[in-house]
C-alpha cells in the first residue's frame, strides 16, 4: 500500500511551551511513503526525535511564544 500524508498544524503559545509531537509515520511503513517525511518548524526551532519503547517516533521541542 502506498501512503501519501501531509498536514499543516499551528499552535499559538502564550509563553515558551514544551511540546511532545507524535506526527510521524511508523518506521516500518516508511518504505510505503510516496515521498520521504520532512518535518518543518517555523519559526526555525531546534527539535529532537527519538523512538519510544512502542516504536513510535516522538519529537520534542520548546515552542517559542507566539504562533508556531
Each residue's pLDDT tens digit, 8-45: 999 999 999 999 999 998 888 888 888 888 999 999 99
- The pTM for the full model equals 0.83
**Cell numbers found for residue 4:** 501519501
Q: Are 48 and 59 in contact (CB under 8 A)?
A: yes
**Which among 67, 17, 61 is positioned nearest to 42, based on CA atoms?**
67
pLDDT for 35 equals: 87
How far apart (Å, rounded) are the C-alpha atoms in residues 63 and 67?
9
Position 1 pLDDT exceeds 80: no
pLDDT for 8 equals: 93
**What number is the average pLDDT over the span 44-65?**
96
Amino acid at each position: 500500500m502506498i501512503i501519501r500524508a501531509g498536514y499543516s498544524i499551528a499552535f499559538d503559545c502564550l509563553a515558551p511551551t514544551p511540546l511532545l509531537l507524535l506526527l510521524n509515520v511508523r518506521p516500518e511503513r516508511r518504505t510505503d511513503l510516496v515521498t520521504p517525511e520532512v518535518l518543518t518548524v517555523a519559526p526555525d526551532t531546534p527539535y529532537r526525535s527519538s523512538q519510544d519503547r512502542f516504536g513510535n517516533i516522538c519529537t520534542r521541542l520548546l515552542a517559542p511564544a507566539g504562533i508556531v
